[in-house]
Amino acid sequence: MDPSALADAPRLVSRARRVADPEFHAVFEAIETPRVVWGAPGESTVVGGGAAATLTASGPDRFASIRESAQTLFASGDVHAGTEAARPRLFGGFAFHEAATDGSPWKSFPEARFVFPRVQVTAADNGTWVTVNAVGPDADAADVERRLDEAVGTFGGLGVAGRGHVERDPDPRPDRPGIVSRRRTTTREEWRAGVEAAVDRIRAGDLEKVVLAQALAADLRADAPRAATVDRLRNRYPNCYPFLVETDPAGAAFVGATPERLVSTRGRTVETDALAGTTGRGETPAEDEWLASELAADRKNAHEHDLVVDAIRDQLAPFAASITAGERRIKRLAEVQHLHTPITAELETNTHVLELVEALHPTPAVGGLPPAAALETIRETEPFDRGWYAAPVGWIDAAGNGTFAVGIRSAVLEPRAATLFAGVGIVADSDADEEWDEIQLKYRPILNELEDGD
C-alpha cells in the first residue's frame, strides 16, 4: 500500500490467539511471502508473512516520512491482541546512506521500507501467538476472525516444540549450499591504500575515526536455505539480534545476527549499546581470557570505544533527562569478542523511537567522527553501495515504541548467490593488515552458514 493512501484508508483490524508452540522452521516455510524474522535478547521472536500494508520512503526525510505514515496507519485501529507480545507491529529498515544507489544486490531494497504483516507468529514467554492483520477501507473484523481461525489451524498443527526448545543440527553441515567462487570488491592493495589515506586524514585533524567496510560476493552451488540459515543464526548467537527481511518473494533477502543494538524504547526508557573494539576467541579458556584481557588493556581499542560512548551520549542528550553509561565489559560471541558499554536514558518527553533512530544513525561504531567527514570518506573509499548494511533494522508499534539493531554480521541472499559485508573502525594508529584480518573474522557468522565443508 502506498503511504499516501493511508490517509484515505486508515482502518486497521488485528486479532490474535494463542496456539501450541510450533517449530520455527515449519512456521517459516508455511507462512506467506514476503517474510520477516526478528529476534532479540529478552524479546519475543517474530515471523511475519505477507503485507497488509507497506511503507516506503527516500531521501533525507525518510525517517520522518516513515514515522508519520506509521502514526497514520496505527491511528484508528480495531485491535484485540490478547497479550502485549501479539500486538501488531511494523517491521523493516533503512539504507545506510540517504541517497543509496539501486545497484545489485540492493535493487529491491528502497532507502526505507516497513511492512505490516498479514500474519504474524510470535514466540513469547507466555506462549506462541498468531496475529492476523488487515488494513484498508474494507478491512472487516469478521473476515479477520475467519482468517485467524484458518491461521490457528495452520500454525497450531505444525511440529510442536516444548518451551525453551532449541533445534540442534545432527549433521554439522546438512544443508549449507556450498561456495563455488568468491569475489572481493576490495583487493589487499586497495585496502591498504584506503586505510592509509584515512589515517592521513585522521592525523591531519580532518577525522577522528572512520569505519571502512568490505563486501564479499559468493556464488553458491544452490540457494541458501533461508529458514535453516536464520534458525541456526538465532540459536548460535543467543545474545545477538537475528533478522531476515524479504522484499521480493522470488528475489533477495537481507539476513544477519547482529550483536549491536542501536536503540530500544519502552515509554520514556531508552536502552542502547556502544560496541567497538574487537579481538578473536581463544582455542582454550586460558587463551580466551588472555585475549579478552589484552583487548581491555589495548589503548587503540579503548580510544575507539570511548569515541563511540561519548558520541552516543551527545546524540541522546537533546532528548534525555538523564543518561547513564554502564561499566565497559567484554561481549563474547562465537568467533569474536567486543568491548561493550550498555547505555540507558530517561527521556524528557514521550518520543517516537524513529526520532531516536534518526538521531543515532550512524553511530561512530559503523560511521565515524565527525559524521559528515566520515560519510564522505566512506563514499570515496568503498567501491560498493552499503545498502542496508550497518543501517537500522527493527520494529515499531502503535505507541511509538520499538527496537532497532545495526545491520552488521549480515549478507544479502539471492538465488545461488550471497553478498557478505563487514567493517572495521580506523583510528590514528590502525594497521591496515590487522584490520583486514579482523574483517575476515567478522565474515565468519555468515560464511559458516554457506560453506559445506568441501
Same domain for 196 and 123: no
In percent, how much of the chain has pLDDT > 70?
Answer: 93
In a domain, 354, yes or no: yes
In a domain, 419, yes or no: yes
pLDDT band at 168 (very low <50, low <70, confident <90, very high): very low
In a domain, 160, yes or no: no
Same domain for 150 and 205: no
Contact (CB, 8 A) for 446 and 256: yes
Same domain for 76 and 190: no
Cell numbers for 74, please give them: 496505527
Same domain for 68 and 120: yes
pLDDT of residue 9: 46
pLDDT of residue 173: 47
pLDDT of residue 169: 41
pLDDT of residue 138: 85
Residue 300: alpha-carbon gap to chain centroid:
27
Distance between CA atoms of residues 416 and 350, nearest Å: 46
pLDDT digits (tens, 9 = 90+) for 407-428: 999 999 999 999 999 999 999 9
Same domain for 196 and 64: no
pLDDT digits (tens, 9 = 90+) for 381-402: 999 999 999 999 999 999 999 9
In a domain, 205, yes or no: yes
Residue 189: alpha-carbon gap to chain centroid:
31
In a domain, 163, yes or no: no
Distance between CA atoms of residues 211 and 423, nearest Å: 6
The answer on pLDDT for 8 being more than 60 is: no
On the CB side of 146, CA atoms within 13 Å amount to 5
Same domain for 349 and 314: yes
Same domain for 197 and 151: no
The answer on pLDDT for 187 being more than 60 is: yes
Cell 556464488 belongs to: 219
Average pLDDT, the chain: 90
Q: Domain count for the chain, please give it.
A: 2
pLDDT digits (tens, 9 = 90+) for 201-252: 999 999 999 999 999 999 999 999 999 999 999 989 989 999 999 987 668 9
Catalytic residue of the set 111, 209, 331, 435: 209
Same domain for 202 and 114: no
Same domain for 342 and 224: yes
The answer on pLDDT for 172 being more than 50 is: no
Question: In CATH, what number is assigned to the domain containing residue 332?
Answer: 3.60.120.10
Catalytic residue of the set 208, 246, 260, 414: 260
Domain end (from 103, 138, 155): 155
Same domain for 313 and 265: yes
pLDDT digits (tens, 9 = 90+) for 359-368: 999 999 899 9
Q: Give the domain extent around 62.
A: 3-155
In a domain, 27, yes or no: yes
The answer on pLDDT for 130 being more than 50 is: yes
Q: Would residue 355 show up in a list of annotated catalytic residues for this protein? A: no
Q: Would residue 260 show up in a list of annotated catalytic residues for this protein? A: yes
In a domain, 259, yes or no: yes
pLDDT of residue 12: 94
pLDDT digits (tens, 9 = 90+) for 321-352: 999 999 999 999 888 899 999 999 999 999 99
In a domain, 51, yes or no: yes
Same domain for 425 and 355: yes
0.85 cut: is pTM over it?
Answer: yes
pLDDT digits (tens, 9 = 90+) for 47-56: 999 999 999 9
Same domain for 375 and 241: yes
Highest mean pLDDT among 5-9, 295-299, 343-347: 343-347
